[in-house]
Amino acid sequence: MTTVAIDFGTSNTVISILEVDTQQPKSLRFPNLSRVFVGVNPQGERVEYPVIPSLMFIKLGNNIILGEGVISQRLGLSQSYPPERLFKKFKRDLAGDYQPPAIQIDGINYNSVSISELFIQAIWTEIKKQNIEPSHLIFTVPVGAFERYLDWFRDLGQKLNVPQVSIVDESTAAALGYAIKNPGQLILVVDFGGGTLDLSLVKTVTNSHENNSLRAEVLAKSEAYVGGEDIDVWIVDDYLHSQNLTPEQVGKISYQNLLEIAERLKIQLSKNPTASESWFDDESFMSYELKITREKLEEILEYRQFLQQLRDALDEVLTFALKKGISKNDIEQVLLVGGSCLIPAVQQLIISYFGKAKVKLNKPFDAVCHGALAITQITEIDDFLRHSYAIRLWESYSKSYVYHHLFTKGTKYPYQLDQWLTLQAANNGQTEIRLDIGEVGEMTQTEIAFDALGRMTSSTLQHQESYRSLDTQGKQVCVAKLNPPGAAGFDRIAVLFEVDFRRTLLATVKDLLTGEILVNRGEIYKLK
């Protein structure tokens, strides 16, 4: 029986196991699925990092091709293998508030949920082929993940029939992997991947009274929904604008080819000051030449507010830490993980905050997955909410929604409110009370435009609240059934809310008329 960790990424997915004999993490390599990045460890030794590109192509007959097989066969890049059958960035769509409409292929509808499940289940089949029988499955998720995203992983774990399923956020996982060997140190992880930027400040403490077991404390977090996949799009859009072309003019196939070239150029710029590549489209008979320098890439990143979002996230973590009496100088190690951390401008910005001696880039691709396996050695993780829980109410006179906050962002959980919320029936004869309960998160937006001379200009980052109901069907949550029915205008129930160790919202509901406890610590978004 083995512990398996899955770091499901926007660009790449990593699968690791905790080897039974050595209790050391090991990344798995799968024939026809994995591609291998090569690096050098701190000892100067050559290291291979196997990853599975998060790509899926649906061939005729609903034949599914994953990962490196999509790249090696150049699927989605020609008329024979059209881009309409290619799925990428489905992890980001799965986590997002807006769900793109389903795409029908050969009479079957595919969306981000079904594609993500097919992707993980196909990998799961390959894991079983390696004679691995998982007893504990650990999923990693973005720091700012909402409950409906976490529920998807919990449900998937049940479908895979795994005895134990755990979820840990990505940057915290990487911090645990390092801190497990260095208890007592303050570790900041900057996880900058294909779809998200996640930061987590973690400290591990030895519990001497519990056989020297380790307890982890998460001190600060921050996140932004921006990553390497965005950079590829920006490089292509900048190139097309310089040629007075639009994506519609070059067509879907050419645009996908340009995105692939942009990704390769971005990777080349991690080692070289300039990069260029030519490509001839033998279907449209058009030739393209993309040439970019590090200076130009940094200009694009600044205009697109990419680096500013990194600054904002760093500032948020440091401000949060300072409120707990922790200064920037107290942070002992800053670990960079994720492909976007290979960008020189990103590294330079982080070094400017903390100094070169503290910043490490040892395991950019597998630190999160390997670190997730460390939770098997930690007895307790103290964490806090990255979003507020709130009840959304409609105000008829202002014709707008208002929020009654239950728990605010930054609340350490598990936590129970100390005051009951009293609610009335809205109508005579009302037999149940429903509430629109959800999470409120902060989102950032920026607007890019080109002036008359073709120069990019960008607006200031705008912050706004994003509300997501806990109920995936978008229905209001039934918190109580009334017997006898309620009367309008009279106090009828009192509710005491709490968040448990799984970050699930619970409620205890008391009927003020009968004195009966209608619900005792119920998972309210699952009440029927």
pLDDT at 292: 96
Quickly state the pLDDT bin for 84 (edges 50, 70, 90).
very high
Return all residues near 470 (Cβ < 8 A) that are at least 6 apart.
147, 148, 437, 438, 439, 477, 505, 524, 525
Name the strand (E) or helix (H) holding 432. Answer: strand 430-445
Cβ(97)–Cβ(149) below 8 Å: no
Pairing of strands 186-192, 197-207: antiparallel
The whole-angstrom separation of Cα 57 and Cα 51 is 17
List pLDDT tens digits, range 430-481.
999 888 888 887 655 544 454 544 544 555 555 567 788 877 665 677 888 9
DSSP 101-162: PPEEETTEEE-HHHHHHHHHHHHHHHHHHTT--EEEEEEEE-TT--HHHHHHHHHHHHHTT-
430 with 518, same domain?
A: yes
Residue 290's domain is classified under what CATH number? Answer: 3.90.640.10
189 with 216, same domain?
A: yes
pLDDT at 467: 82
> In this structure, is the dihedral angle defined by the CA atoms of residues 90, 96, 97 and 98, taken in order, positive or negative?
negative
358 with 298, same domain?
A: no
Residue 457's domain is classified under what CATH number? Answer: 2.60.34
List pLDDT tens digits, range 257-304.
999 999 999 999 999 999 999 988 777 778 889 999 999 999 999 999
pLDDT at 114: 95
- Note down the domain range covering 399: 384-525
- List the one residue out of 438, 358, 383, 399 whose CA is nearest residue 143: 383
328 with 418, same domain?
A: no
393 with 373, same domain?
A: no
- How would you classify residue 74: left for phi > 0, otherwise alpha for psi between -120 and 50, otherwise beta? left
349 with 406, same domain?
A: no
What's the average model confidence in pLDDT over 419-440? Answer: 89
The whole-angstrom separation of Cα 460 and Cα 458 is 7
Percent of the chain with pLDDT over 70: 91
What tokens were used for 144? 């700012």
The whole-angstrom separation of Cα 279 and Cα 271 is 22
Q: For residue 265, report the phi and psi dihedrals to the nearest 5 degrees.
A: -65, -40
pLDDT at 464: 61
Mean pLDDT in the chain?
88
What tokens were used for 100? 């793109």
119 with 213, same domain?
A: yes
The whole-angstrom separation of Cα 428 and Cα 39 is 70
pLDDT at 178: 84
